[in-house]
Amino acid sequence: MICPYCNTENRDDQDVCYHCNRDLSMLRLIVNKAKHHYIIALEHAERGRYQEAITELQHALDLDRHNVNAHVVLGTVYARMGNLEKANEQWKEALKLNPMLYKAYEYLQRSEEAKHTRPRLNSLLYLAVILAVSLCFNLALIFYSVLPKSEETLLRETWNYYINKDYYSALQGIARLEKIAKDDIVLCSADVLKDSINTYFHQQLRAVREAERQGRYYVALTEARESLRRKPPPELNSMFTSIVADIRAVLIQQINNYINGYYSNEVGYERVKAEIEKFLTAFSDDRTAKQMAQTLKRVQSHFIRTTLVELKEKAEKGYYEEVISKAQALAKRFPQPGFANQINEFIREIKAQSLRHLLKEEQTKLAEEEAAVLTTPTITLALAQHPGDADSTTKTLTSRMATPTPTLTPAETPERAPSEGRQLKIATPTPELRFTSPTSAVIF
């Protein structure tokens, strides 16, 4: 490792710099962690897991930018994936860190050569195959006049099968030609057609394996089934069939992981539903399709129960309109009879609960109004003065009592004093007095 203070090269197990005696213990831990990621990346690269290897190498370089080997391996991984541009960048970085690194220089030189020659080689190879097929076929046509009618017809039919990409029928025609044809040109044409068909299927096989390696399983599945539909040779047919079986097993395992993640609240319902539906679409005739459909129903039932429990808790807090709206939207998402009945029953229950709540509020409100009326009565007593008194005044008695208005009996009727006429005897609490001018006594 390189000392960040004086740029001196030190052993990876060194805690103190040789030159400046600075503490390198923390740097040593970081470098060792970067090496750990680098070793894991090597294991992934050896097993063909290039994306995982790239991730680990990037972690290693984030911790230690001076890790030359990580740059070299990362460039090699990019090159294997066909990304020569990124591979060149990593190898150039390695050469910047260590100009004497022969391996990075060699890889870079090869990459530059391949960058210029590879397109031309591919074009030449493709052109050579087309020319060979056309040449052999044209030579065969020249000899049509001297061939037996059966050979001429069979060769023309085989060529038409090949043009229409009916490779199975073309291979059958080639097999018959190999048995009955006696002319070398016809046999040469049959061999070229056979090689071209095999080349096509081998290219398809490489494309399927690459898509599978990158995790694009449904793309690989589609390509493999398309190749099987064209009926490749027996050995390639078994390979494509094996790939389809492997992809099916991987997808089932992925779905099981998603389901377990859903029940542990790590994966959302929509993701699980989408994955199961994609599997059912791709394997509608599979023996596990029925089981997978039942699994989807169980997940949907669990999702509905969980959602209704959450809505019920919200309804208990008084959000009835919002709960009913969401429950109705849930019923539209799950129109199946079993699910719809369950959700509609819940909606009816919430509506009844909302109605009971409203009635209870109205009763409470009415009770409060009645209590307010009963606890604040007003008694007004107007007492007239003596008829001969010129300054006649009336005393108004207002009393707010905490009990209902008492009923006055004859025994409790106020008695007027013979001379004063102003004293009132009532078997109720002492009222507050306010004077007005009525002349008669009224009790309300």
Q: What is the pLDDT of residues 52-110, one digit of tens each?
A: 889 988 888 888 887 888 888 888 888 778 787 788 888 778 777 776 554 444 555 55
> pTM of the predicted model, to two decimals?
0.47
Closest CA to 186 of 216, 160, 156: 156
Q: What is residue 317's three-state secondary structure?
A: coil
Average pLDDT of the residues of the chain: 74
Report domain extents, the chain.
Answer: 25-118, 137-252, 304-372, 375-444
The pLDDT assigned to 189 comes to 72
End-to-end CA distance of the chain: 104
Query: What separation in angstroms does the CA of 259 have from each of 262, 294, 302?
Result: 5, 13, 11
| 444 confidence band (pLDDT: 50, 70, 90) | very low
Which one is predicted more confidently, 40 or 395?
A: 40
Task: Report the DSSP pairing between strands 432-436 and 394-398.
Answer: antiparallel
Which one is predicted more confidently, 407 or 234?
A: 234
The pLDDT assigned to 100 comes to 58
State both tokens at 406.
Answer: 């008492």
Distance CA 200, CA 193 (A): 11
- The answer to whether residues 52 and 85 touch, using CB atoms and an 8 Å cutoff, is no
Task: Report the DSSP pairing between strands 432-436 and 382-383.
Answer: unpaired
pLDDT value at 148 more than 80: no
Query: What separation in angstroms does the CA of 316 have from each of 300, 347, 350, 357?
Result: 24, 14, 9, 10
The pLDDT assigned to 360 comes to 87
Give strand ranges (E) for 269-398: 382-383, 394-398
Q: What is residue 377's three-state secondary structure?
A: coil
Query: For 25-118, which CATH superfamily applies?
Result: Tetratricopeptide repeat domain (1.25.40.10)
